[in-house]
């Protein structure tokens, strides 16, 4: 399973990249706003800065919601760097835009996916990635991981190449469950990736080894 980091914070991207396990980056308008990125040029420059750190795909989301504007915006984003993936919302015009980009070999990530029907449509349109939001489903008392399992089954049935990019990942158990249920990618905050490192028996065992090493 690939690990993407879900942030627009350059320090977090750098830290995950240095760890040596990072396969890509996803952003969204909320994450960009959180970093104080404002205005057309600043947005484009920030995506370029992310591409200069990450060696994998970088999802950059369109801000418009009508077909023509999404095509214009996505085309501009895709020209920034060969590893830019145009992130497009799961709406009717969005599906048309995904088809447009897929016919031109421009990578897409269909975002805000909450049902297997939506994921089926995204795959039919030729999306490179589909982003089911696991945590937000959990927030409304619906098991987000069931959706990952359902999409995996549907994509396997018909050999769809669209990659399941599990999003809205909040904690390490989400990452482990994504791996068990066949997500191709989990996009996570840095905290969730680093939390995978922790186990009290590792800490205890290491402390013992360090103490015993002094006796050697």
- Residue ranges in contact with ligand G3P by CB under 6 A: 6, 26, 28, 133, 135-136, 167-168, 170, 187
Question: Smaller CB distance to ligand G3P: residue 96 or 170?
Answer: 170
Question: Which distant-in-sequence residues (6+ apart) come within 8 Å of 126 by Cβ?
Answer: 98, 99, 102, 103, 108, 162
| Catalytic annotation, residues | 87
In whole angstroms, how close is the CB of 165 to ligand G3P at the nearest point?
A: 8
In whole angstroms, how close is the CB of 201 to ligand G3P at the nearest point?
A: 30
Question: Smaller CB distance to ligand G3P: residue 47 or 133?
Answer: 133
Nearest one of 93, 9, 87 to 50, comparing CA atoms: 9
Question: Smaller CB distance to ligand G3P: residue 168 or 181?
Answer: 168
Question: Smaller CB distance to ligand G3P: residue 179 or 207?
Answer: 179
In whole angstroms, how close is the CB of 191 to ligand G3P at the nearest point?
A: 11
∠ CA(4), CA(131), CA(68), 5° rounding? 110
In whole angstroms, how close is the CB of 216 to ligand G3P at the nearest point?
A: 47
């Amino acid at each position: 399973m690939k690990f993407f980091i879900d942030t627009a914070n350059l320090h977090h991207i750098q830290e995950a990249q240095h760890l040596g396990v990072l396969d890509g980056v996803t952003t969204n308008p909320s994450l960009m706003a959180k970093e104080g990125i404002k205005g057309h040029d600043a947005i484009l420059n920030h995506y370029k800065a992310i591409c200069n750190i990450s060696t994998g795909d970088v999802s950059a989301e369109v801000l418009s919601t009508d077909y023509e504007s999404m095509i214009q915006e996505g085309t501009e984003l895709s020209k920034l760097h060969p590893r830019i993936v145009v992130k497009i919302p799961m709406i009717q015009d969005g599906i048309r835009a995904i088809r447009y980009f897929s016919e031109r070999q421009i990578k897409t990530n269909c975002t805000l996916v909450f049902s297997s029907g939506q994921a089926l449509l995204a795959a039919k349109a030729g999306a490179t990635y589909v982003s089911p939001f696991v945590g937000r489903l959990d927030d409304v008392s619906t098991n987000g991981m069931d959706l990952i399992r359902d999409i995996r089954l549907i994509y396997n049935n018909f050999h769809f190449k669209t990659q399941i990019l599990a999003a809205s990942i909040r904690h390490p158990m989400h990452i482990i469950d994504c791996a068990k249920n066949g997500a191709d990618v989990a996009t996570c905050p840095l905290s969730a990736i680093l939390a995978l490192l922790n186990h009290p028996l590792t800490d205890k065992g290491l402390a013992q080894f360090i103490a015993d090493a002094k006796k050697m």
